[in-house]
């Protein structure tokens, strides 16, 4: 199945914004630091996002990590309080690491949605610049296309 034209245009916009984008057969894969990625699927007029930590979805990865460190802490309590303390420290560090990864993927989803929303506006009235917002937004002027005629981006997330 060929990739839709909407995603081809989105890929070029994301790459011009400095993101690493890989084109898959039916979706885009946006690569992020800390082995994170966000997959972007077309869903009619909407975009659907799936976040991954490595090869697992981020919810499954966080659940497995929480369960694994809980089992480790409970098992190490049999050998003494010092081992249980080390296991608890490992759980705290893993939780901090996961919270950073959640923030990275949420930021990427927001950035992709914003870039896609700017693409939905009239390209003649909005100039995309690398360092910030468009001239129309800075000046407070009205875009040439009325709000009722614009196709705005809606997202559906399956987290």
- Alpha helix segments (H runs only) across the chain: 5-16, 58-76, 81-120, 135-139
pTM over 0.95? The answer is no
The tokens for 109 are 């989803």
Asked if residues 103 and 111 have their Cβ atoms less than 8 Å apart, the reply is: no
Burial 32-44 (b: 16+ CB within 10 A, else e): beeebbbbbbbee
Q: What is the mean pLDDT of residues 127-148?
A: 49
Judged against a pLDDT cut of 60, whether residue 59 lies above it is answered with yes
Residues 5-51: tens digit of each pLDDT? 888 888 988 888 888 999 988 899 999 988 899 999 988 878 889 99
Question: What span, in angstroms and rounded, lies between the C-alpha atoms of 42 and 3?
Answer: 9
Mean pLDDT over the full length of the chain: 79
3-class secondary structure per residue, 27-53: CEEEEECCCEEEEEEEECCEEEEEEEE
């Amino acid at each position: 199945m060929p990739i839709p034209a909407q995603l081809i245009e989105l890929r070029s916009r994301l790459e011009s914004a400095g993101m690493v984008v890989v084109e898959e057969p039916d979706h885009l894969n946006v690569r992020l630091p800390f082995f994170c990625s966000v997959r972007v699927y077309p869903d009619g007029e909407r975009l659907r996002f799936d976040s991954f930590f490595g090869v697992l979805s981020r919810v499954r990865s966080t659940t497995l990590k929480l369960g694994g460190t809980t089992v480790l802490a409970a098992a190490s309590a049999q050998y003494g309080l010092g081992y249980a303390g080390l296991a608890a420290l490992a759980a705290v560090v893993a939780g901090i690491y996961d919270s950073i990864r959640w923030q990275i993927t949420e930021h990427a989803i927001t950035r992709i949605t914003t870039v896609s929303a700017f693409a939905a506006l009239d390209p003649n009235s909005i100039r995309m610049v690398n360092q910030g917002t468009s001239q129309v937004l800075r000046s407070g002027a009205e875009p040439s296309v009325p709000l009722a005629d614009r196709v705005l981006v809606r997202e559906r997330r399956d987290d």
